[in-house]
Amino acid sequence: MAGHSKWANIKRQKAVVDAKKGKTFTQLSRAIIVAARNGIPDPAGNFQLRTAIDKAKAAGIPNDNIERAIAKGAGTFTDGASLEEIRYEGYGPGGVAVLIEALTDNRNRTAADLRAAFSKNGGNLGETGCVGWMFEHKGVCLVDNVMDEEQLLEASLEGSAESYEMTEEQTAEVFTSIADLETLNQTLKAQGFEVNDAELRWIPSNNVEVTDLDQARLLLKLIDSLEGLDDVQNVTTNFEMSEELITASMT
Least confident of 52-61, 73-82, 160-169: 73-82
| Structure confidence by residue, pLDDT tens digits, 30-55 | 888 888 887 788 888 888 888 889 88
Q: Are strands 135-144 and 84-91 parallel, antiparallel or unpaired?
A: unpaired
Residue 79 included in any domain: no
Confidence grade of residue 17 (pLDDT, cut at 50, 70, 90): very low
Between 134-138, 142-146, 184-188, 196-200, the lowest mean confidence (pLDDT) is in 196-200
Pair 139, 129 in one domain:
no
pLDDT higher than 80, residue 5:
no
Instruction: Give the length of the chain.
Output: 251
CATH number for the domain including 44? Answer: 1.10.10.200
- The yes-or-no verdict on residue 140 having pLDDT over 60 is yes
**180 plus 147 within the same structural domain:** yes
Q: State the Cα–Cα distance between residues 89 and 124, nearest whole angstrom.
A: 9
User: Bigger pLDDT: 3 or 8?
Assistant: 8
117 and 59 in one domain?
no
The more confident residue out of 182 and 22 is 182
Query: Which of 56, 74, 92 is the last residue before a domain boundary?
Result: 74
The confidence score (pLDDT) of residue 7 equals 53
**Would you state the pLDDT for residue 59?**
81
Q: Are residues 108 and 223 in the same domain?
A: yes
- Its domain, for residue 236, covers 84-133+207-249
Read off the pTM: 0.79
- Calculate the alpha carbon distances from 239 to 93, 96, 136 in Å: 10, 6, 15
The mean pLDDT value of the chain amounts to 85
Closest-CA residue to 135 (of 97, 104, 166, 167): 97
The pLDDT of residue 183: 93
Question: What pLDDT was estimated at residue 230?
Answer: 83
Co-location of 156 and 46 in the same domain: no
Separation between Cα atoms, residue 220 and residue 175, nearest integer Å:
26
Within this chain, do residues 147 and 200 fall inside the same structural domain, yes or no? yes
What pLDDT was estimated at residue 21?
53
Residue 19: predicted pLDDT = 44
3-state helix, strand, coil split of the chain in percent (to 5) is: 50, 25, 25
Q: Looking at the predicted structure, is the pLDDT value of residue 153 above 50? A: yes
Which one of 74, 97, 118 terminates a domain? 74
Q: Would you say residue 89 has pLDDT above 60?
A: yes
CATH number at residue 197: 3.30.70.980
Nearest residue to 7 (alpha-carbon basis) of 86, 129, 96? 96
In the chain, % of residues over pLDDT 70 = 89
Q: Please tell me the least confidently modeled range out of 4-18, 27-41, 44-58, 174-188.
A: 4-18
Asked if 117 and 26 sit in the same domain, the reply is: no
Q: How many structural domains comprise the chain?
A: 3
Instruction: Label residue 112 by pLDDT band (50, 70, 90).
Output: very high
**243 within domain boundaries:** yes
Max mean pLDDT range (56-65, 133-142, 233-242): 133-142
Q: Of the candidates 49, 74, 99, which is a domain's last residue? A: 74
Report the pLDDT value the prediction gives residue 1, as an integer from 0 to 100: 35
| Residue 96 and residue 118 share a domain | yes
Does a structural domain hold residue 53? Answer: yes
| Within-domain flag for 1 | no
Question: pLDDT-based confidence at 98, cuts 50/70/90?
Answer: very high
